[in-house]
A and B are shown apart, each in its own frame.
Chain A
């Protein structure tokens, strides 16, 4: 089955700097790659996703890049703010869009230093 590795497990950046979180996956059949943000005691919430026919996607300060050949994808957050502090999870699935289950990475605890 699919295996998703996520790095780093903890990332501390100064407010205003950029943060990058990286994930690799093992199943070349995977086509859908979402990123979730989870605040303490809350549910995971989708912040951005990308499908395999696209190399990059942006939404304001958040971007995701995908390299299907290398089987890795990354989350980029620019101009970080205190409210960006949370745990971020990457995930992968074959069908995507809610039609099959997600395999998650272990998460990255992002800490924004004031």
Chain B
């Protein structure tokens, strides 16, 4: 199994642009999580899905952030419009009620 796959690995964008981060969970895992990591705030849970349904989005910082999971093998996290304070590493993780596997992350820089 290739593990949790995230793309792109690095993204540099200008303030105000739309950014879309992508995640492919491990096949058969029915939970998917999006986390954000910054020096100041550490690792924060943004949202998670169970069987493609959003369960808890209380960590989504504001309306500029949205996440979807149209099917069991794909999820997106979108930021529109992006701001410099959104610069962070965004991790996706999946699980099957036996522990979490993290992807390699997307390093987002908003200039």
When distances are taken between beta carbons in the complex, the residues of chain B under 8 Å from A99 are: 31, 50, 95, 97
User: With A43-B91, A43-B105, A100-B48 known to touch, is A89 a contact of B43 (CB < 8 Å)?
Assistant: yes
Assess whether B98 is in contact with A102, with CB atoms less than 8 Å apart.
Answer: no
When distances are taken between beta carbons in the complex, the residues of chain B under 8 Å from A89 are: 42-43
Closest Cβ of chain A to B63, distance in Å, is: 20
When distances are taken between beta carbons in the complex, the residues of chain B under 8 Å from A101 are: 33, 45, 48, 56, 59
Closest Cβ of chain B to A87, distance in Å, is: 10
A106 CB–B CB distance under 8 Å = yes
Q: Of all chain A residues, which has the CB nearest B47?
A: A101
Q: Which of the residues A42, A45, A97, A105 comes within 8 Å of B95, measured between beta carbons?
A: A97
Q: Which of the residues A44, A98, A103 comes within 8 Å of B31, measured between beta carbons?
A: A98
Q: Which of the residues A1, A42, A97, A104 comes within 8 Å of B43, measured between beta carbons?
A: A104
Assess whether B100 is in contact with A98, with CB atoms less than 8 Å apart.
Answer: yes
When distances are taken between beta carbons in the complex, the residues of chain A under 8 Å from B100 are: 34, 46, 98, 102
**Bound-complex Cα distance A98 to B100 (A):** 5
**Bound-complex Cα distance A42 to B91 (A):** 10
Q: Of all chain B residues, which has the CB nearest A95?
A: B97
Within 8 A of B (CB), among A39-79: 42-46, 49
Q: Give the interface centre of A1, A42, A49, A99 by most chain B CB atoms within 10 Å.
A: A99
When distances are taken between beta carbons in the complex, the residues of chain B under 8 Å from A107 are: 42-43
Closest Cβ of chain A to B50, distance in Å, is: 8
Assess whether B97 is in contact with A44, with CB atoms less than 8 Å apart.
Answer: no
When distances are taken between beta carbons in the complex, the residues of chain A under 8 Å from B58 are: 1
When distances are taken between beta carbons in the complex, the residues of chain A under 8 Å from B29 are: 98
Q: Which of the residues A34, A45, A103, A106 comes within 8 Å of B45, measured between beta carbons?
A: A103
Assess whether B102 is in contact with A98, with CB atoms less than 8 Å apart.
Answer: no
* 18 pairs, CB–CB < 8 Å, chain A vs chain B: A34-B100, A43-B105, A44-B43, A45-B102, A89-B42, A89-B43, A97-B95, A97-B98, A98-B29, A98-B96, A99-B95, A100-B48, A100-B55, A102-B43, A102-B100, A104-B44, A106-B42, A107-B42
CB within 8 Å of A: which residues of B?
A: 29, 31, 33, 42-45, 48, 50, 55-56, 58-59, 91, 95-100, 102-105
